Chain A
């Protein structure tokens, strides 16, 4: 039984990181209807910047973490300004392809730095002895990761509910024309959405880097696994991202814990999320919490 709970706990941990990464997608999609395929690369960039600042420059981790969030904030804003601003109003496939191109460009840029091929891990920052509660153990890094995720999601929810900027972002996602007519600058909101997404990506990257170590290929694979999470939750729902993230984390951990090794299966954690996604999409074509678009001819 404790094995089961152990899996539940680690599933929640992985899931909350998925949720944090998926949040960035949802932010961008909600405001500008762009699916940012390059999000995984921004996550990786955030992780590498954090590492470079802590280990190479020697700044304490929490300050480096904040700094990397600020850097990716502006990085993502620049990306939006340079690549996406020109494509407002273009068909959806062009926009997706631009973000795919962006993914390649960022890949190339990361490979240019030494981080592209190295296997790195953060120096231990938190106590290394895990906390155990009734046979279930969780490491300090994971715990802090979950806490940071919770804080982030709570903060963003507050931001969207209460602050003027957040409300204007919701207005833009609801109806761009109406938002413009009450004096909201739509391009500025797009830029801000990207910047916030970049920030959350950096946070996710920093946490993953601390938990699993830094390897570009792993981060890459992680970035792709965030797609089923966002689609499962519904592209434009923050709650959906959180719920689907945790569901996917649990699925992965249970697959790795119970399926692998039995009946000659292995590596099911990489494929089961997609199978579950396909089956669920047959019943709920807009994900769990996505808005149903009402379409007219």
Chain B
């Protein structure tokens, strides 16, 4: 049938294959590719200061981590209160390599993509191992089991001299085709690396959700007994969801460690785990686009609150430590308000806006 390849005027799917296309129309394809091109191009045009670039980079790292969290909590419906620990596993894998081979070993400085990938794989193995209780545990019991992993991880890092007892473990600067990435270009360079990882994992996740390995995650989330009856293996699927989450988290951790040139325990605490959960929820659980909006929104909010409390501190004096008070206060309020008024997160606003423009000038 001769359908309009540019504009969707209705739903004319006659096969499942057609329905599962990533891009429904050429306009979709054009927007996504031009968006990605714009994301790559803008730092070349606008010169950002290192400070601003660092903020953007840390948002991007959080995006990779939240994609992982969305796999396990959003798509597979298993609450994980230990995601920062998985990110930490990745970061400490890279840091341990640096510690055992020496900081300027060629693999760390030249073959850093392999290090990132390897950290992701270690994260996946640890994730799968931590996910083993998910075979038997459900809901809240599982949530607290992941919390236990977070606590054990924090203790292990703080206790073992191998991990420098939680003090920062250094990582080297990396080399690129043009030579060593110097301080001036460090954050600029990593922006492109992390962006590439995000684009790749975005497409990977999108494609995964079209295959049966992705769809079985959703089936298990919606009703694991029914999924069992349909011939899936819920226990295996849950472990595999944890492994996937661990993979993305491990990559995010390795990139975090490279970006900040070290791994320290304070970035992988329970508090950070809760932040990741908040990002996933504010963005929209179980959506890919939510993984991009959530981290950006939460980090932006964090910055604004910091500015606000600094400003309030100049007026009220430093007698009250407003910064420590305002951050959790606004953070908590945002989570609660989102859950009460927009449980489907920012991704839902994005969906509404998109359908508005798609249907314009008609209402529906």
Contact = CB atoms under 8 A, between A and B. Distances in A.
Contacts of B281: 93-94, 97
A108 B332 contact: yes
B318 to A, nearest CB: 12
Give the dominant DSSP class at A's interface. helix
A234 to B, nearest CB: 9
B333 A105 contact: yes
Contacts of A235: 140-141
A281 B339 CA distance: 30
B331 interface: yes
Contacts of A266: 159
Contacts of B324: 111, 116-117
Given A104-B335, A112-B320, A271-B155, A282 B328 contact: no
B158 interface: yes
Give the dominant DSSP class at B's interface. helix
Interface string A164-200: 0000000000000000000000000000000000000
Contacts of A271: 151-152, 155-156
Contact of A92 (B140, B147, B223, B322): B140
Contacts of A228: 144, 148
B29 interface: no
A123 interface: no
Interface stretch (B101-109, B189-197, B270-278, B350-358): B270-278
Contacts of B257: none
Contacts of B332: 100-108
A101 B226 contact: no
Contacts of A109: 325, 329
B79 interface: yes
A281 B133 contact: yes
Contacts of B328: 104-105, 107-108, 111
A227 B321 contact: no
Interface in A223-244: 224, 227-228, 230-231, 235
Contacts of A295: 225
A37 B44 CA distance: 45
B343 A105 contact: no
A254 interface: no
Contacts of B73: 93
30 contacts: A87-B339, A90-B339, A93-B73, A100-B274, A100-B278, A101-B278, A101-B333, A102-B336, A104-B274, A104-B332, A105-B329, A108-B327, A108-B332, A111-B328, A112-B320, A117-B321, A224-B147, A235-B141, A265-B159, A271-B156, A275-B148, A277-B144, A277-B145, A278-B148, A281-B136, A281-B137, A281-B141, A281-B145, A285-B141, A287-B141
Q: Which 10 A-B pairs have the closest CB atoms?
A: A108-B329, A104-B332, A101-B335, A105-B332, A111-B325, A274-B148, A271-B155, A101-B336, A107-B328, A108-B328
